[in-house]
Chains A and B, each alone.
Chain A
Amino acid sequence: MTGEAKLIVQGLSHHYPDEYTGESVHALDNIDLQIHENEFVAIVGPSGCGKTTFLNIIAGLLPYREGRALVDGTEIRGPGPDRGVVFQEHAILPWRTVKRNIGHGLEIRRVPKAEREKTVQEYIDLVGLSGFEDRYPHELSGGMKQRVAVARTLCADPVIMLMDEPFAAVDAQTRITLQDELNRVVMATRKTILFITHSVEEAAFLGDRCIVFSRRPGHIKTEVKIDIPREDRVWKDMVDNPKFTEARDNILRLVRSEVTNDVDS
């Protein structure tokens, strides 16, 4: 954790204008957040609290007016290759093979073919897709598609990787495998990651820190530190790791209180 934070967010709020009623939807309220190099920050919060809104602003896909957001010291203005995004739905291109999807970022940067193929092969091996290089996405399972999406983002080598519920659409077993794999990948690549999820378990398993959002308008309610070394984070050992269960129950309580409040009001 050396030097300046990779992501700095100060007093960020967001209102969606409503074209029909003229009233605006207050989605985010005064967010302050810093993410340092090699940190894995998970965000959880009740549905509709503004998590996707937050991520889209950081990704540059949604313009913001209130507050500041900087990546690597520069103000965010539109999307760019310094912020790689893994979307919830499959955002990989159906008309590109696995290989060409993963290398797309390098292709856009005009990296020479030989060098590109070498790098791509490394990431294909890393996410366990060897043998599927020349397949098209429709020939892959949902889990494999998300592996391609993760590898594609990694391969473009962003400053920070943004992930919006990337494993929400796969079945429970695959999700566990993908979480274990992501851990391995994070250890191998030492990426800085902002990870959004609605699964408390996932947040506690993956995050160095877990940010709990309040219900809408989303603001940061608390932050839970999960002080478990990465190499210990393997699902088969985690279930009876007291640090993990404590963090998980803690986060769950905080999120539940937000959801229950919602029902009461």
Chain B
Amino acid sequence: MANQKYLLVCSGESCDADKNHLLQEALQREVAASGLGATVQVVKTGCFGFCAKGPVVKILPEETLYVEVQPSDAAAIVQEHLVAGKPVARLCYDQQQSKLHAKLEDIDFYQKQVRIVLRNCGVIDPDSIDEYITRDGYVALEKVLFEMTPEDVITELRKSDLRGRGGAGFPTWRKWEFTRQVTNPEKYVMCNADEGDPGAYMDRSTLEGDPHSILEAMMIAGYTCGSSKGIIYIRAEYPLAIARLKRAIRQAKEYGLMGDQVLGTDFCFDIEIRLGAGAFVCGEETALIASTEGSRGMPRPRPPFPAVKGLWDKPTVINNVETYASIPVIIMKGGDWYARIGTETSKGTKVFALTGKVKNSGLIEVPMGTTLREIVFGIGGGIIGGKTFKAVQTGGPSGGLIPEEYLDTPIDYENLSKLGSIVGSGGMIVMDEDDCVLDVTKFYLDFSVDESCGKCAPCRIGGKTLLTLLDRISKGTGTEDDLAHMKQLSVAMQRASLCGLGQTTPNPVLSIIRHFEDELNNHIQDRHCPAGKCTALVRFEIDPEACIGCTVCARRCPVNCIAGDRKLPHVIDQERCVKCGACLEACKFNAVIKS
């Protein structure tokens, strides 16, 4: 129908959190009530990525984007936009507080993005295989099965130069070629959906928004490598993604796109789901295999690589969700097309979860080679509350902090590792002047130590020792010798640890020693934490001149360590103070001083 309109409502977890089903129902009700039911369709879709401004509603074909929409706004959208044909100004995203931006392509957040992995997220209903098929879904599988040999597929991937998006950046075509060459009637294709980086959710949104793309790519891998069995290893913490995958598998089987004799050919393929149980190390491929086999997720030395000896000792291809999601597009548009995007050594696009102290946090997909500045200050809209940028962290617990002076670096695997960080799986966390680099590094180290499986000594003991040293510095009792000791330990861990976890645990530590020496020295020499985060180095005092004795602080103090009579200056007992800062927040007279 010519004047058919669609109201797309995000149903990603971040927006669902905002009780989106109510919004969807309200829109449906309003549409029906206004008699537009025949020409307007309310559709639930996957994540639009603009999570900071959710819930988000998009209207097609005009591509109007409404942000922070409440169920009570449904009437306005239907009456003003659909009936009267005028955009609802107050719901449009207001970028400069002056100009309203109604169209998707006008908004900075989307302008610099190129969506390959996220092509269908926020566009189709993830629960509908028909919508996936309408958007060229399963065309790549058909092309592979009827027009290409396994060698052709590998050639195409080789041309695309796609590198694994799970962290290590290993060329995908090589991994597939190794597995293909091993002769064994039983091989496995696995999808790593364990997404363990705390503070990142790229894979989750892809699985929730476009589950069929992963199934399609795994089947292409199966055909290419000679496997008929796929396994998706997914975190149990992602129930929505699990439910959508299960439904997608069922639908694909009903359509003859999975199971015996796919599309009438001799190719058979089946996919099973296995649940993780909250262990970061299980993202490492050999640990992932151990966990799928039902054991404790402990890594083992490589070689032998999974391509030769993987699940149940059979040749196994393991790829990340995002790697898989890129593959159908590469098959359809060709490897050469894909290789035109990106930098010399890193082709294509990368999805990042942009979070922290940035205005527009959300999920973004940019060509490799985009600079950090374009992401943080362009797409991200800069720092919240006009504060000063301090660092951006990439690669999660295995990555490092990157300071202001390197913001113009184009992102690719090599460039970021030169800066002492990694591209990693796609976490990108922005920090401002209120964040202490030491405190953040302690957070990551604490995480890695907690997640160490304990099998090898360098990781188990080295990580713990690093944490102790760092803790000492944050308490003001560290010395310069401690820094030297930390460097030495870090190098030993990088060289001697059994798996990637221990090898990369020291990365955040090394990155602050390299880029934030001054701030570390503030802690060591001056016993001072410039950001005021390291509580042992912070002191709260009451200025007797400014205090009017209103008693508010004394009543707010959780440990009752503030004494003083009404209308007389109060005093904080430094011995008992837990430095929570409640008094500072409570005081209306600026009498509490933090130093």
Bound pair (A, B)? no
A residues adjacent to B (C-beta < 8 A): none
